[in-house]
Structure 1
Amino acid sequence: MAEKLTEPPEVAQNVGTFHAPVHLSVWMNLTLVLVTLAASTERALRLRYSRLLDGGAG
């Protein structure tokens, strides 16, 4: 996404351009989006505290 946002000449001139180190295929991007949506939905629906995910140190 950062790569697409820095493509326009006006932005590239002021901010510079970003080139992603890895380029995924369309089906890999779609799979990544679906897995992320499923994981975030599951996390939101459970509403349980997790030391690992919620940043608790003790």
Structure 2
Amino acid sequence: MLVIGLVLLILQLAEQVTRAPEGVAQYVGTFTSPIGLSAWGNVVVGLVTVAASTERALRLRYNWLLDGGAG
């Protein structure tokens, strides 16, 4: 769930940054996120991501994918 929340956040931030025509958009163009969530969808994803990250922090267990280790 953490990875999904992070991907959605990056996509939405990229869309917001490139939306203003006088900023980054004039150099790289605009980006439209392929996933559009409503306000409720963003709230739900945000709450689930916070719950997942809190659970992850409280358990303190190693995971090769989330902790960046190869083995």
TM tier relative to shorter chain: 0.7 to 0.9
Larger Rg over CA atoms? 1
Aligned to 1:5: 17
What does residue range 39-58 of structure 1 map to in structure 2 within 5 Å?
A: 39-51=52-64, 53-54=66-67
TM-score when normalising by structure 2: 0.67
Aligned residues: 58
- In structure 2, the gaps of 5 or more residues are 1-12
Against the structure 1 CA distance between its residues 52 and 6, is the aligned structure 2 distance closer, same or farther, given a 3 Å change threshold?
closer
Gaps in structure 1 of 5+ consecutive residues: none
Instruction: Report the secondary structure of 2:19's partner residue.
Output: coil
Q: Following TM superposition, where does structure 1 have runs of at least 4 consecutive aligned residues deviating by more than 6 angstroms?
A: none
CA distance in 2, matches of 1:39, 1:19: 27
**Does residue 15 in structure 1 map to residue 36 in structure 2?**
no
Aligned CA RMSD, in angstroms, stands at 1.7
Decide which of 36, 49, 54 is 2:49's aligned counterpart. Answer: 36
Q: Shift in Å at residue 48 of structure 1? A: 1.3
Identity of aligned residues (%): 67
